[in-house]
Structure 1
């Protein structure tokens, strides 16, 4: 005869369908959040600043392992969001708690030539209004939730960088140009051309018909033609057409000061094609402050290094209202530029990228959708799928 035990009398309650669903969702969100934070994230290219290397509509995987992921500064945040809750303007975070940021070990440091995703530094609460002319619509955000930008690193901590006639020189040596880097060219055509067949057929998507002089860069007056953004290979191909009289780069001349360029100083006359020399700050390096380099380094010293009592006044950096003669940097910095050199709001316009703003290295394109295809059959750029980013 079987004896009934107390345990057998207690019926195990089965999990409801709703509970199982909630547990599955919780597990999936937790796993996705950890993967996104520790290993890699997905991004989409929204602007043409990296063309022709990366195109608008490219979807990327960005490795956080290469440089080491950073711990959250703003822990009170809706999972799998960045600045706002999906499809709304409602902030997805609360800044009631702010934690110190630490970087976990990575595979390597940021190298010259790397395509890097980082948080835009000038969304700092003390800087976003200052740079609103360069980047309209800037809003202040915590350091780890600032807008993600993607550019190519052209100079690393301690480097001396200069741009001469559009060519980047680092420590006196010309840097290798990325294969798909775009410059601005003037094409003399003698009149209008079939833009769809000529330009788009050759990969040129940014072109403007031009009939007037272009300052000091184009010597002939009222010469009909086009201003285009193109790679060197594209420009050489266009030279082969019979109706093309000449193709030449459009460069701003030396000593022509460009408005809204970094740094905002009357004693510096640089432009996007003639820039520097400028020394990139390195952790532990001590500099003697002058009127010129105070303009270069004030934003970094005051806003990115947590120096609350520092102030730039009349070109002089003050510490507790006393002139600061020397300063030792607390972290490394980088100089970033877009591969579409004449259509990129980059470090030439808003300055250095602090190491604690680095997110990760762009690794490969996993999907590419053309926002303006010739036909729906060309909506997906099949030739760009799983392309390694160089």
Structure 2
């Protein structure tokens, strides 16, 4: 293999490369080819949490298509090949350098992000904990201890956009949509959103007094441990729509009803302003999802929704003084969006940290479309029925 193909050989030159040199050239070529494929065509990804169950299961191994939405040009190009943000077998050692930073650019793809696609993206809140965690742990740390204390005590780092944690959710709202949630049912532009057939939702179950048979639940791939136990045969479980239809035929069950949290305005829910937006994770909105080129009027009641977009995602200086908003030192009462934004939610709605808690996902955070399950295992066995399934 001749990597220096541009150099013209001298006449009669027949020097043969050593075996070590041949292997070295082959290794360099393999690294370059694999890096280009990973960056511009597809990348492997593993499901770490149950937030998408049962559409996707923990320890599903996926291929994520970069070309579906157009591959994103690396914004942090100086990095160790085949790593994300830390070196293997280390917790805090960066696998990249910020000496060179490129602006966001994306090559053409086959389509835009479509409503109800399953999408991989970089965590948009920006601050990530360099520790193994479940889906909710970073958010809970910030809520309980405050962001500054979390930074100091739990090794939080602020990473470049393309080096933040990868998340996977379903796009429930596209740019320009209006989304709302009523009694844990999602509505988009006034119409009820379709329910993914393998998604889970929490239900209240009433029985004749006897508990459900845990062995039969396990056979149906249902967690036999109830989420809550009440009086007089009342239980709470996570079910798929198909499981609900089947369980309603069991004589021991008298009723199955969707669980809806009965609570007042929740400060943990986006935009964290219960005085103006008394929303909860089960009753939310209506909320407009920003579209590139669209403008909104700014006032004290809605600035909590758009503050992070203006300051962090689109890099402006935002101030409020003398009763007026100033963007980049210019007084204004409107803002025009520079990017498209998306609303992402887990299929396992009652066990998912998603847009209900941290808001919009900017287009520059989009990694790719979840495409194919190439391997899956659980309980010590390969899940053969899941191999080579297209993700929908």
Q: Give the TM interval when normalised to the shorter protein.
A: 0.7 to 0.9
Aligned to 2:383: 381
TM-score by length of 2: 0.86
Aligned to 1:365: 373
Task: Pick the aligned partner of 1:355 from 358, 363, 371.
Answer: 363
Please tell me whether the aligned partners of residues 289 and 327 of structure 1 are also in contact (alpha carbons under 8 angstroms): yes
Relative distance call for 1:224 and 1:101 in structure 2 (3 A) is same
Task: Pick the aligned partner of 2:142 from 116, 132, 148.
Answer: 132
**1:114-154 superposed Cα distances (whole Å, 9 cap, x missing partner):** 001111111259xx899833998664210111111110001
Aligned to 1:201: 219
Bigger Rg, which one: 1
Relative distance call for 1:207 and 1:350 in structure 2 (3 A) is farther
Aligned to 1:46: 48
Aligned to 1:228: 237
**1:149-179 superposed Cα distances (whole Å, 9 cap, x missing partner):** 1100011111111111111111111111111
Matches of 2:170 and 2:23, distance apart in 1: 43
Aligned to 2:106: 103
2:96 aligned with 1:93, yes or no? Answer: yes
Give the drift of 1:323. 5.9
2:131 aligned with 1:122, yes or no? Answer: no
Aligned to 2:274: 266
Task: Pick the aligned partner of 2:197 from 174, 179, 183.
Answer: 179
TM-score by length of 1: 0.86
SS of the counterpart of 1:200? helix
**1:197-236 superposed Cα distances (whole Å, 9 cap, x missing partner):** 1322122137426334xxxxxxxxx333332111121122
Task: Pick the aligned partner of 2:307 from 264, 280, 298.
Answer: 298
Which is further off, 280-289 or 262-271?
262-271
Q: CA RMSD in A?
A: 2.6
Relative distance call for 1:182 and 1:139 in structure 2 (3 A) is farther
Relative distance call for 1:158 and 1:31 in structure 2 (3 A) is same
SS of the counterpart of 2:158? coil
Matches of 2:323 and 2:347, distance apart in 1: 33
Matches of 1:322 and 1:178, distance apart in 2: 46
Over 6 Å off, 4+ runs = 128-131, 134-137, 312-316
Structure 1: gaps spanning 5 or more residues:
1-5, 213-221
Matches of 1:356 and 1:259, distance apart in 2: 27
Please tell me whether the aligned partners of residues 229 and 236 of structure 2 are also in contact (alpha carbons under 8 angstroms): no
Give the drift of 1:260. 1.2
Matches of 2:126 and 2:265, distance apart in 1: 25
Task: Pick the aligned partner of 1:19 from 21, 30, 35.
Answer: 21
Structure 2: gaps spanning 5 or more residues:
1-9, 129-137
Matches of 1:315 and 1:91, distance apart in 2: 44
Please tell me whether the aligned partners of residues 178 and 288 of structure 2 are also in contact (alpha carbons under 8 angstroms): yes
